[in-house]
Structure 1
Amino acid sequence: MRNNIIVASLLVTSVLFAQEKEFSKNQKDSIESLNAVIITTDAIIGSKFNAKNKAGSTYFISPKELKTFNYDDVSRILRTVPGLTIQEEDGFGLRPNIGMRGTSPNRSEKITLMEDGVLIAPAPYSAPAAYYFPTVSRMQSFEILKGGSQIQYGPYTTGGAINMVSTQIPRRFSGRVTASIGSFNTKKTYVNIGDQHKNYGYVLEYNNRNSDGFKTIDNSSKKTGFIGNDYVAKFRINSDADAKVYQSLTAKIQYSEDFANETYLGLTDDDYRKSPYRRYVGSSEDYIDAEHRQIMLTHLIKPTKNFNIVTKAYKNQFSRNWYKLDALKLGSSKVSINNILTDPTAYNAEYRAISGANNTIDNALLVKANNRKYEAKGIQSVGNYSFETGKVKHDIDFGIRYHEDYEDRFQWIDGYAIQNGVMNRTSNGTPGTDANSIIKAEAIAAHILYNLTFDKFTFTPGIRYEDIKLNSLNYGTNDVTRAGTTLARANNKTNVWIPGLGILYKISDGYNIFTSVHKGFSPPGIKAGEDAENSLNTELGFRFDKGALHGEVIGYYNNFSNLQGSDSMSGGGAGTGDLFNAGAATVKGIELLATYDVIDNREKRFKLPVTLSYTFTDTKLKNNFKSSIWGTVESGDEIPYIAKNQLAITAALETTKFNFSVSGKYVDAFRTLAGTGTIPAQNKVPSNFIIDLSARYHVSEYISLMGNVINVLDKEYAVSRVPAGLRPGHPFGINFGIMAEF
């Protein structure tokens, strides 16, 4: 760690001494077009321009936009994208919860997450909950696809897909060093260096994040923060640019390690009102320790100018142990922490134990080692062929993927006691005696998408095919060596066609209208009766780009024949991972995104755009049933954890010498159990409006000083009631740093 800091310091110093030039007209961080295309095999959309000309809802976050606030929390990066539901958890975005168009945000398990066009969830078919999320600081752009624009990307096609494009190999020798320090002893260091020659190129990256955290544990000096390191190397060899058949081969190797003193244990309503940043002593031993490895090979071949094939072979490995308080057992039966925090009066003895008010017997506190390993690997090829026949333009995108993944649970429970307000271990569990099972998935997916442009019309019919096989082995809690021959087995398989159609009509150079319809799908579970999720999704949108005003407004309607939920501990359930069928449901909404350039003086290089983003979401369940996480559901109830109204406003003053930005996000109150009408206080997360600031001063063409303020007004706001109890958002925090580029 110390060596890495020394290297970063030397790089900063060398740049400071070497670069003394005044600003040139090509100053990197000054006002520039957001329509610059990223030419890469890792991107799906590639530019603002492409996003505005899709026959479906798409959004592109450019490298320039990512630099504006210098966030490393994806929850804040995506806050201006309409149609997204983001449920905060730890305040730093370490494990974000993202939903799209009414899908559950819990662990982002209902959307397709990709990095460089490859599935990045630990086990996207067998265990999609994203306990791993890529380090945001090393991402060059974000691509968000919703509606009919995302049927190429599965297996989750109900809400949408997010593709994160990692740092690309530069066109010339260049590098960047960013270092910052801020509130709660939060430090960030990012270094990259790369170059490109005639027949090869490379980029190397190092990223470190660490913080002491903003919460305090009762009767403990332990920090509540985290530390993470991320290393990436990319190497590419390629033929001559003018070769008859151009080819390139890129190898990407990534490794990250993360340790966070994070817990599932929140606060009761009364305790939250008194001290929202408190943590009970019962959470003092909680932590998550994780490692992630990726290796990916990308081959590009261009047999002709208008035809190319990109093939990616990949392998992702993720291991984690989230060691956390699971339940208390003061008598003959154990009580989950969720039940204790939901009703501390009924479970007063248990509540007094986890808060340190009462001593306990040995092994009263049951701390579970949620020890799991994941692997996902596969190979995919995507081809693109474009041609013209007269006035008609044709663009055909087709691909196939073979994928395997698995989740291996090998868990145990340790016993603890509270003595004199301190938590002490009283017994060690045997690995494999809590959960001891493996779930595997094998999938073949294929798609074809045809873009046909004639005159002012673009037609985009497409179809996706998924063939999925799931099987599980449960070794039981007594077979810790997995040597037994009598195993509990389960298997399931499905195959499905997922069609879609988009139509775009270009009214004029500044206006277009589009509509799409497609089948929404999520894979079934492993057990009998855990059916796939199915819906029919439609949208209608209007885009405008005239003078100083540009944006889009979209209305959508998702009609579910079977909405799917899951019993996860992170969602407030028992943690079995079992799926349940919620039956028929509807989700409809309006998404508005508009930017007005209050000032746009290109001669003086002075700009002030103001962006407004609004999302309205209306949900309705149509069946009566009982759920461990949604409660007792009646027809007409709303889906939990979906705010009806969200509003974001951003203003960014940009000059050649400095940038200043302010961003505000309003999230409506939402319910934590299904229901309708007034939200009961015990099932409510109140509304909030949070303002952030960001500033950047360009010392020279190559050196910038930067800072940001999170939660300027220091609002105390709750973000969730799951996994167990109320959880606070990030308090007031300020960060200062320096960025050097060469």
Structure 2
Amino acid sequence: MDCFKLTYLLLFITLPLSAQNIIVKTNQRDSVLVKLDEVVLSANEILGSKFQARNRTGAAYYISPKELKKFDYTDINRVLRTVPGVSVYEEDGFGLRPNISLRGTSPERSAKITLMEDGVLIAPAPYSAPAAYYFPSVARMQAVEILKGSSQVQYGPFTTGGAINMLSLPIPEAFQASISGGYGSFNSSRIHAKLGDARERFGYAIEYLNFSSNGFKDLDSGGDTGFDKNDLVAKFRINTNPEARLPQSFVLKFQYSDEVSDETYLGLTDSDFASSPFRRYAASQRDQMTNDHLQFTGTHTFRFNDYFSLSTTAYYNKFSRNWYKLDGVSLNGQREGLSGILASPELFPEYFNLIIGNSDAASDALLVKANNRDYVSTGIQTKFDYHWKGAETFHDIEIGLRYHYDEEDRFQWVDAYGITNGIMELTTAGTPGTDANRISDARAFSSYALYKLKYKELTLTPGIRYESIRLGRRNFGSNDVDRTGIDLSTRENRVNVFIPGIGFNYNFENISLFGGVHKGFSPPTSREGEQAEESINLELGTRFSFWGISGELIGFFNDYSNLLGSDLAATGGTGSLEQFNAGAVNVSGLELLLNYNLLQNDPDFELPVTFAYTFTDTEFQNSFGSEEDLWGEVVSGDELPYIAKHQFNASFSLEHKMFDINLSGRYNGQFRTEAGSGSIPDEEKVASNFVIDLSGRYRLTQNLGLTANVLNLTDEKYAVARVPAGLRPGLPFNASIGVMLTY
């Protein structure tokens, strides 16, 4: 370990550091089987607490503010590793564009799960182009809610694996202000400021976040390989007097973010990764992602009485991005893709030498594509809730409606470069619109109805969702960059589907039994006649609390009748977003969560221990395909790629009102990068890894605290993916220290 790492470890040991929160004993609201009256959630929340998650009629998990503050991650991948049933594979080491799977759904660009912020769809174009090239900054989130199984039938359009809802900074009940800053490895820095207040009829909250890094990869030609991201959120609320006969409130939210990241799709060959895993080839020196995101939402809440409420949200999201990156190599008029070159460099030595800068080419050898796209996602949604009580019963009816429109506008081009002595020079500038020049759009009407019945210890929640979707595409062609329509081609696809589900929960003295069955659904593309992805999903589980140990054990089974795969450039495809039928697939698994406080009887200290384990088994039920399909040649019995069979996370925290120290270790099992069975060939495998993170916080005064974080404590060198092209490394040893001031 070099002096740099030793210095950070010594700082960590001498400042077992901590910032803002006084540690308190876990309250009853978060216990497993405590019986409480129904609580009223705000319009943007789904769960609102661990108690609600643990008493739902389906699997759900609530990552609380306290949990988020332990490590104060900026990487959503690291946050979600603690949740059973969630699989991720990393790409850039910083979590800028995560690949998330819930219960075996395809993880690529998190395109097969329902993503929300404050209850509003947040993917760039959730129906027409759901690949999440934008993902909200988890460092500014108050909590994260994860729903799986029958507990998420209200949330769509993707209902197979589940939904993730990110909860942003709430408007406080009284004046609050804080500012924090940190600095660490790779010239990484963070500034985070929050301000808010509330009066009887008015409230506001404002938040600014910047985090950046020079990057941990070494570019052959020199230069940064990191990123710089800004995020601003403002909320304003007006409301009636709390004692008004008909209480109402209106909350206006504004969010803006921008990002510049020197990221690439170009990875490494196996031999280069083994010798120098953090190398970046010379041909990626011009690669850069620029994007900005804008959101407006307005939420009106109307409470007629103690039993009847109505909330309505109008929303508008705009996302613009241009990922300018190496897309191919051309020699003597013959173009080769990056994946093929890196997979077999011995078959393409002239092409590979250009990529690594060992050969010169005067002109037009390196093809850099400007993946220039604009997205709009807008709509209005309303939720009606009515509940009443009987002698031994509780009834709740929830009805939701949403009209939604989204679109993706592609206006792309390819620039050609020469390379001399490892330095690239533009030789032929492309014309915008000549690579892709099309608009994909979707109009969707969604509705659902959910009925909750509580009778003594039994809870039943039958529900049904309806989706009516029209998907379209207008392709103007590469010869009509002015979009006059002379070469216009169009296509359209329509889907109307009912998505039923039912769940139950039964409480015994220290244990509960829950389960459910629901229909899984994922929309198709605009290609006429293409069928939607459908499945039948079952789960059965138990939650328990014995001798201070609490937890849950859940089994699930997803029976796909028509699994759809997507042609994404992020997975080594062409990036057309066309979907293809993978037929019948079975996905089954086991989720285990255990919690125990080793010092539960100590008045001053707590030592909570958490263990989470996920087992996932996948199997194609039919043979299909060819070498040209993204799945490859599939034989019945093959496993799905990109899904680890085994993964677990263990965490320990020593908590005191003045400080806390946190240790988290996560194991991610090996996984395939192509469909197959039996032992995994080395060239189709991402090996398992075990990574340990350490954090500490120390409260110097009531308003001043210190923080320290060490990510990848043992400096594990490991691969995280073979896509988009070649092997990619995970984040190496990364240490940071910080300070926080609160008022």
Short-chain TM bin: over 0.9
Shift of 1:33: 3.5
Cα RMSD of the aligned pairs, angstroms, is 1.3
Shift of 1:576: 1.3
Aligned to 2:728: 727
Q: Within the alignment, does 1:617 sit opposite 2:611 as a pair? A: no
Instruction: Give me the whole-angstrom Cα distance separating, in 2, the residues matched to 1:56 and 1:483.
Output: 52
Paired residues of 2:650 and 2:664 also in contact (CA < 8 A): yes
Aligned to 2:517: 517
Shift of 1:542: 0.4
Shift of 1:392: 1.1
Aligned to 1:159: 161
Q: Which moved more, 1:303-312 or 1:110-119?
A: 303-312
Aligned to 2:100: 98
Aligned to 1:577: 577
Match of 2:347, SS state, is: coil
Aligned to 1:217: 219
Q: Within the alignment, does 1:50 sit opposite 2:37 as a pair? A: no
Aligned to 2:544: 544
Partner amino acid, structure 2, of 1:594? L
Aligned to 1:652: 653
Instruction: Give me the whole-angstrom Cα distance separating, in 2, the residues matched to 1:505 and 1:717.
Output: 44
Instruction: Give me the whole-angstrom Cα distance separating, in 2, the residues matched to 1:94 and 1:538.
Output: 32
CA, structure 1 residues 266+312, in 2 after alignment: closer, same or farther (shift >3 Å)?
same
Instruction: Give me the whole-angstrom Cα distance separating, in 2, the residues matched to 1:529 and 1:357.
Output: 49
Aligned to 2:607: 608
Aligned to 2:709: 708
Shift of 1:701: 2.1
Shift of 1:187: 0.3
Q: Which moved more, 1:53-62 or 1:31-40?
A: 31-40
Instruction: Give me the whole-angstrom Cα distance separating, in 2, the residues matched to 1:321 and 1:129.
Output: 15
Match of 1:351, SS state, is: helix
Aligned residue pairs: how many? 715
Aligned to 2:694: 693
Instruction: Give me the whole-angstrom Cα distance separating, in 1, the residues matched to 2:56 and 2:121.
Output: 22
Shift of 1:417: 1.1
Partner amino acid, structure 1, of 2:27? S
Partner amino acid, structure 2, of 1:33? N
Shift of 1:134: 0.7
Shift of 1:535: 0.3
Paired residues of 1:31 and 1:656 also in contact (CA < 8 A): no
CA, structure 1 residues 35+68, in 2 after alignment: closer, same or farther (shift >3 Å)?
farther
CA, structure 1 residues 39+561, in 2 after alignment: closer, same or farther (shift >3 Å)?
closer
Q: Within the alignment, does 1:390 sit opposite 2:391 as a pair? A: yes
Q: Within the alignment, does 1:413 sit opposite 2:420 as a pair? A: no
Instruction: Give me the whole-angstrom Cα distance separating, in 2, the residues matched to 1:599 and 1:396.
Output: 42
Q: What TM-score, normalized to structure 1?
A: 0.95
Paired residues of 1:573 and 1:628 also in contact (CA < 8 A): no
Partner amino acid, structure 2, of 1:302? R
Q: What TM-score, normalized to structure 2?
A: 0.95
Shift of 1:238: 0.1
Q: Within the alignment, does 1:327 sit opposite 2:328 as a pair? A: yes
Q: Which moved more, 1:483-492 or 1:69-78?
A: 483-492
Match of 2:334, SS state, is: coil
Q: Deviations over 1:171-198 (max 9, x none)?
A: 0001121111000010001001000000
Shift of 1:123: 0.1
Question: Which residues of 2 match residues 147-186 of structure 1 at below 5 A?
Answer: 147-186=149-188
Instruction: Give me the whole-angstrom Cα distance separating, in 1, the residues matched to 2:723 and 2:289.
Output: 17
Q: Within the alignment, does 1:450 sit opposite 2:444 as a pair? A: no
Q: Deviations over 1:416-442 (max 9, x none)?
A: 011112111111100000000000100
Shift of 1:614: 0.2
Paired residues of 1:574 and 1:628 also in contact (CA < 8 A): no
Match of 1:107, SS state, is: helix
**Aligned residues with identical type, % of pairs:** 51
Aligned to 2:203: 201
Q: Deviations over 1:191-238 (max 9, x none)?
A: 010000000000011100111000011022x10000011111100000
Aligned to 2:36: none
Q: Deviations over 1:133-177 (max 9, x none)?
A: 011111100000000000100000000000000000000001121
Instruction: Give me the whole-angstrom Cα distance separating, in 2, the residues matched to 1:695 and 1:67.
Output: 10
Instruction: Give me the whole-angstrom Cα distance separating, in 1, the residues matched to 2:732 and 2:28.
Output: 32
Instruction: Give me the whole-angstrom Cα distance separating, in 1, the residues matched to 2:188 and 2:688.
Output: 27
Q: Which has the higher contact order (CA 8 A, sep 6+)?
A: 2
Instruction: Give me the whole-angstrom Cα distance separating, in 2, the residues matched to 1:71 and 1:35.
Output: 25
Paired residues of 1:38 and 1:47 also in contact (CA < 8 A): no
Paired residues of 1:502 and 1:516 also in contact (CA < 8 A): yes
Paired residues of 2:176 and 2:196 also in contact (CA < 8 A): yes
Partner amino acid, structure 1, of 2:665? G
Match of 2:56, SS state, is: coil
Aligned to 1:492: 493
The answer for unaligned runs of 5 or more in structure 2 is: 1-17, 31-38
Aligned to 2:440: 439
Paired residues of 2:22 and 2:658 also in contact (CA < 8 A): no
Partner amino acid, structure 2, of 1:316? N
Match of 1:127, SS state, is: coil
Instruction: Give me the whole-angstrom Cα distance separating, in 1, the residues matched to 2:658 and 2:175.
Output: 25
Match of 1:311, SS state, is: strand
Paired residues of 1:670 and 1:685 also in contact (CA < 8 A): yes
Match of 1:384, SS state, is: strand
Partner amino acid, structure 1, of 2:549? L
Aligned to 2:563: 563
Q: Deviations over 1:97-117 (max 9, x none)?
A: 101101111100000000000
Instruction: Give me the whole-angstrom Cα distance separating, in 1, the residues matched to 2:694 and 2:389.
Output: 48
Aligned to 2:27: 33
Match of 1:194, SS state, is: strand
Q: Deviations over 1:518-570 (max 9, x none)?
A: 00000011113532100000000000123411010000000010011101110
Match of 1:634, SS state, is: coil
Paired residues of 1:87 and 1:98 also in contact (CA < 8 A): yes
Paired residues of 2:515 and 2:538 also in contact (CA < 8 A): yes
Paired residues of 2:22 and 2:657 also in contact (CA < 8 A): no
Q: Deviations over 1:252-281 (max 9, x none)?
A: 011111000000000000000110000000
